[in-house]
Structure 1
Amino acid sequence: MLSESYVLPGSPDYPLAIAAKRYWATEFEGNATVPTAQTLILLHSTSFHKETWEPTLEDLFQFASRHGSKNLIREAWSIDCPNHGESGHLNHRALSQSEFPNFTCEKYAQAAHRFIMSGLADFRSRNLVGIGHSLGANAMLLLQEVKPSLPFSFLVIVEPMVSAKGQEPLAPLRRSLVNRASKRREFWPSRTTFKEELGAPDRHAAKWDSRVLDSFVNHAIYRNQEENNFALACKPEQEVAMYRDDLEGPTKPVQVVDRICHSIPIHLILGGIHDLIPEQVHRDLLDTNSGRNFATVVTMKDVGHLIPQEDPSRLAQEIFTALLSDKNTQTSSRL
């Protein structure tokens, strides 16, 4: 898999830089002239970074090449949330200003829209497919209503942090996440120390794919020259702000689904282990009486909320299946 990095610099009206990466395979290079070849836009979850999608993309590109579907994908673009990853590092001074105390997933959607509309690539002429995980899934849904609108053909939404029954069902989880993030360690003497701490048997990261763990070590922290240590790219206060997006954060994306699901196919991928999002929240989202319609619903057994981190290979297979789909909006469930 090949990649190149881009940074859209800040401006007087939007002072935050937005970093992104473009990914492609040699086998796909001729697809620029294939109108149906898909350009994937990926948004990550809170506390991660754009590179967290790399293991999924590596396996997805292999599936596409191996199964005689070389014309399926043109390329993929993964975009940082401006207070995460490389972008968080670039913006750490700007984010300390008073205008950025509550960076929400809606602001992530607006940042992604700004990058796509920047002219770095002619995205509006592409066959766009949106892919998002957790709060990145929320942002991907909200992106569908940012104006001027973008021509997404369909969406793949992975474990969205949403509630169809109001804010209360996710309130205990939000309080737990805020409490955990507010106590998070921010500095380490070396990347080795950081990796050792993450890989401890009692840590959630012990269940991650090794490629994801290595990527997190390389991109979730940066060299802090001023203090001669390594610092989190997404500061704990920024992570807390994302989780405190409690006015419309868990509900507005569901309203977007209700409005667009009959015109834009939405493929939903959920984890079978309810380690973060309660099972009832998933049931409410899938309520057939709501009028809400998903093109497909897949529940991945033996995986929790962090699907891209825990099982990127199986996720790549499910995304590949969605990309191959005929965009049929008839709901089907595979357990």
Structure 2
Amino acid sequence: MLSETLVFRLPDSGLSASANRYGPAKDAISNDAGVTLVFAHCSSAHKELWEPTISRLFDLCAASNTLSPQWRIREAWSLDAQSHGDSAIINHLALADRQALSIREYASMLNFFVTSKFVDGKDIIVVGHSASTSAWTIACADTTIPRLRALIFVEPVMVVPPIPDGDPRIMAGDTNVIGVLARSEGWDSYASLRRMFKKRYPWKVWDERVLQAHLKHGFVEVTGSAAHRGRVMPKCLKTQEVGFYYADDHVLAGKLVEKLCALYPVHSVFGERPEMVSLESRKLICDVNEGRVMASLSVVPRCGHLAVQENPDGVAEAIFKIISSSSSGTLGKRSLAMAHL
């Protein structure tokens, strides 16, 4: 798999975003007629966490002799939110005086990208995980994107009505805010950080490739700050990370799901273990009686909410099945998937 990194500036905020563009290996057959996949990450993550999934997708595509040319993957993009990953390093001075960026601001960046020169004239499929599913919903529900073929949501977290007092979906976000703000400011070395990850949940159950990517791309050794010099710190500061856990924008996304499903095919993919998104929340998100009609539903085995981190190959296979069924004009049975949610 080949890759290159680009940085683009957002005209509304003046912030920048970092993006990786991936293509098949040099010896693979090029396909200019195929689809472009655009990936967005979850809270506290970064664009490189998608790499094992993207690599597996290229392999599956190359091995297939049934995909029609227009549904083969021509390229994939993975984007860093403005406050996460390499974007956070680029924007560190501008972010110093800003409150935590919101899901709505994440959505603004995603909307800019899918209507930009980078994908102009290309058929696209967007893929989100957890918090970015709400961002994609806000980004696309009020925009006509003629060549947007589908949205694929892995463990979607938008909060759809009804929302009673003490709703566990909102309480989970509040709990995350408390936990993040109480977290350590950094580690003495990458070795000590890795040891901590190997002992603690959820990192200890992550796929080794994803864990290695997280260590390499999610952290930076501080050189300029006297207070933290020599410490290994997350690229995304915890004071910025918490912005993606606040409920308001996830509630907004929940109100827009019906509209989104009426505009585009929306596919939901869930982890086998119901964690952040309970069984009841899954049923609400996919409630056809409220107009939230998913084009397909699927379940990835051997993982929970952090499906991309725990079973990237399984997530890739679920995405590939969606692309394959779209190519052949047949989708998996919704009723069977619902029975396993």
2:133 to 133, 137, 140: 137
8 A contact 2:267–2:297 mirrored in 1: yes
Q: Which residue identity is paired with 1:221?
A: F
**Within 2, Cα distance between the matches of 1:150 and 1:290?**
25
8 A contact 2:111–2:139 mirrored in 1: yes
**Within 2, Cα distance between the matches of 1:152 and 1:42?**
13
8 A contact 1:113–1:146 mirrored in 2: no
**Within 2, Cα distance between the matches of 1:28 and 1:141?**
33
8 A contact 1:124–1:150 mirrored in 2: no
2:39 to 22, 30, 42: 42
8 A contact 1:41–1:77 mirrored in 2: yes
Tell me the equivalent position of 1:165: 161
Tell me the equivalent position of 1:54: 51
Q: Which residue identity is paired with 2:84?
A: H
1:228 maps to 2:230: yes
Tell me the equivalent position of 1:204: 202
Tell me the equivalent position of 1:312: 312
8 A contact 1:82–1:88 mirrored in 2: yes
**Within 1, Cα distance between the matches of 2:50 and 2:131?**
14
SS in 2 for 1:125: coil
**Within 2, Cα distance between the matches of 1:212 and 1:223?**
20
1:285–1:269 CA distance, 2 compared to 1 (3 A): same
1:149–1:261 CA distance, 2 compared to 1 (3 A): same
Tell me the equivalent position of 1:111: 109
1:125 maps to 2:121: yes
Q: Which residue identity is paired with 1:144?
A: C
**Within 2, Cα distance between the matches of 1:206 and 1:142?**
33
Shift of 1:73: 0.6
Q: Which residue identity is paired with 1:83?
A: S
Tell me the equivalent position of 1:188: 187
Shift of 1:165: 2.2
**Within 1, Cα distance between the matches of 2:178 and 2:59?**
40
Q: Could you list the runs of 5+ residues in structure 2 that have no partner in the other structure?
A: none
Spell out, residue by residue over 1:290-329, the C-alpha distance to the aligned partner (whole angstroms, 9 max, x if none): 2321111112344210010000011110100111123668
8 A contact 1:296–1:333 mirrored in 2: no
1:301–1:268 CA distance, 2 compared to 1 (3 A): same
TM-score normalised by L of structure 1: 0.90
Tell me the equivalent position of 2:62: 65
Deviates more, 1:258-267 or 1:166-175: 166-175
Shift of 1:228: 2.5
Deviates more, 1:51-60 or 1:233-242: 233-242
Q: Which residue identity is paired with 1:307?
A: A
**Within 2, Cα distance between the matches of 1:104 and 1:328?**
37
8 A contact 2:271–2:302 mirrored in 1: yes
SS in 2 for 1:15: coil
Shift of 1:258: 0.3
Deviates more, 1:57-66 or 1:2-11: 2-11
For this pair of structures, how many residues does the alignment match?
Answer: 324
Shift of 1:102: 3.4
8 A contact 2:137–2:260 mirrored in 1: no
**Within 2, Cα distance between the matches of 1:263 and 1:103?**
27
Deviates more, 1:168-177 or 1:124-133: 168-177
**Within 2, Cα distance between the matches of 1:78 and 1:194?**
25
1:243 to 229, 242, 245: 245
Cα RMSD of the aligned pairs, angstroms, is 2.1
Q: Could you list the runs of 5+ residues in structure 1 that have no partner in the other structure?
A: none
TM-score normalised by L of structure 2: 0.88
Spell out, residue by residue over 1:104-138, the C-alpha distance to the aligned partner (whole angstroms, 9 max, x if none): 1121111122334443x2x1311110100001111
Q: Which residue identity is paired with 1:111?
A: M
Q: Which residue identity is paired with 1:17?
A: S
Could you tell me the percent identity over the aligned residues? 27
1:151–1:323 CA distance, 2 compared to 1 (3 A): same
**Within 1, Cα distance between the matches of 2:211 and 2:303?**
16
Deviates more, 1:21-30 or 1:259-268: 21-30
1:214 maps to 2:212: yes
1:178 maps to 2:174: no
